[in-house]
Amino acid sequence: MMNRNDEPIPLWRQLNATAAVVLAVGEGASGTAAVDNVPSDLRPGVQALAFQVWRNLGRAQALRKKLAPRPPPPAVDALLSVALALAWNPADAPYDMFTLVNQTVEAAKRSPSTKPQASFLNACLRRFLRERDDLVAATDADPVAYWNHPAWWIKRLQQEQPAQWRDILQAANRHAPMTLRVNVRKTSPTDYLASLQQAGIAASGGQDAAIVLERPIGVQHLPGFEQGWVSVQDAAAQMAAPLLLQGLESGANLRILDACAAPGGKTGHLLELTDGRVLALEIDPARTSRIGQNLARLGLQATVLTADAARPQDWWDGQLFDAILLDAPCTASGIVRRHPDIRWLRRESDIAQLAGVQKRMLDALWGLLRPGGHLLYCTCSLFLAEGGGQVQTFLTHNTDAVLLPSPGHLMPRSVAKGQVVPDNEPCDHDGFYYALLQKRMA
């Protein structure tokens, strides 16, 4: 890693910053916020290391318990866990194990919070180098170490998805592809694939307007990105706008509500597909600004408000909507391959708390929909309480609601080249839930 002055950044600095990020998440901060606090010259390297640590943190913590049954101070524990997460699997290690060990000890010596324990860290890691195979084998029977997810998460998936839970956990530990959504107002998937080929960027067409890059690149290198030709959006997330509009007459008079709109990906997709009037809500002012920025790049317009969708009395003008998109707040358990910190940040109690928020939002927004209109309820969650269970409860209490054909739970899946998948599913996607509801005519 080089800094802005083209001088190599010592690995020990990156390891110290990575340990601070991992410790912050362990104390309840989001990974995104923790990485944003890292100095800009360190940030790209630290993010890459932190993501790898979170994908291997269960194994690292199990190994630490073997090496040091008595937990060391939190800062020391974080640095030791970082080293073990990066080094335990030589085939996946970003550096050779001896370099990682030496630089971890150097990192400990350079920080006041870990310097007194530098010898302890050195002893633990040298023992790990000597006994690696035996220590790894001794932790294989620990589900948290083997699957690198919290025990409650694994158990819940085993209960709710008995046939798929292994595949779901394996997919969650793989790197997500960079998937693009083509703005069909400005170009076509076929033409954009040709533009990518001309630019020397390997890609393949997915479902509808989705394009999957062979490897991630900076958006500044994408042809026409600043001109709004494409957006970065997961293949499962790209299903939302077409689903909501399915069966509705398109036109300038169509009134659409995007109830939890930030950062504006689905808002933009709706406007790419219809000339209707879109109201986009977001409760967080900082995130609201991102909606406007994304729409400006696409050359599209919506009414954007900072408001709580669950409190229509604060923002609703009394006119019913033809379509409502409710991408509800959730555990985000379906997008852990993109945000691997989430699995260690969430607690099982969060599911019930968020399910309560989802219920309140569904109840509040249902009354704003015209008879015959559509409400698309979706979450990027794996758990039934935030998906099928939530919708079944809603249908029981709202007899004027009809569940139209919907994808239901889409579990995260990584697909090997040449593998055949159903025509109605994107080939490589995050975990999502979709239920398309229609209000009965009076």
What are the residue numbers of the active site? 380
| Sole residue written with tokens 């239920």 | 435
Residue 407: both structure tokens together: 């994808």
Asked whether 308 and 328 are in contact (CB, 8 A), the reply is no
Sign of the dihedral through C-alpha 344, 350, 355, 360: negative
Give dist(CA 303, CA 165) in Å, integer: 41
261, amino acid identity = A
